[in-house]
Amino acid sequence: MIDQKEIKAIIGLGNPGPKFQRQRHNIGFLVVDECARRNHANWQRKDIFDVAEIQLHGNRVFLVKPQTFMNASGKVVSWLQKKGIAPENIVVVHDELEKPFGHLSVKFGGSARGHNGLRSIIDYCGKEFYRLRFGIGRPERKEDVGDWVLSDFSESQSELDVLIDQAADMLE
């Protein structure tokens, strides 16, 4: 479980631009967007990311959406480090192929397990951060993974909205 009082940044993984908005790989963006909406926070563009500031449990928390595309998501970590935020005070919200659609779980530390966004974060700050894993399921054939993560959710919008809401609840 996440110790919310220790969290100072929540990074949602995804790809920038409207074309990617509803894709499985963008679930991190969708979840942090919900956190920002709930807290009436406004997104501001920094150099390579969007950031919003909210208050959770009396603490200032930065919501971050890297605008570098998935494979370079870790570039935002240096800005967080300049703000005095250590890896153990970060939650990364990402899609998880190894879990069925809608399965939500929290993990601290670990490897990237083939996820290029996580790999990039790990390259910049090591493995010791929280992950909120949002299950997207896996296609039957391994060679279809790239197309799968870059395709839109097939589930209904209302079903997806309920799960995004549950994921945001886990962060607050």
CB 29 within 8 A of CB 18: no
Which residue among 25, 40, 94, 103 is the active-site one? 25
Active site residue 25: yes
> CA Rg, the chain, in Å?
15
CB 64 within 8 A of CB 32: yes
Tokens of 83: 């703000």
Q: For helices 27-38 and 157-171, what crossing angle results, to 10°?
A: 70
Q: How far apart are CA 125 and CA 118, in angstroms?
A: 11
Tokens of 36: 């920002």
Looking at the annotation, which residues are catalytic? Answer: 25
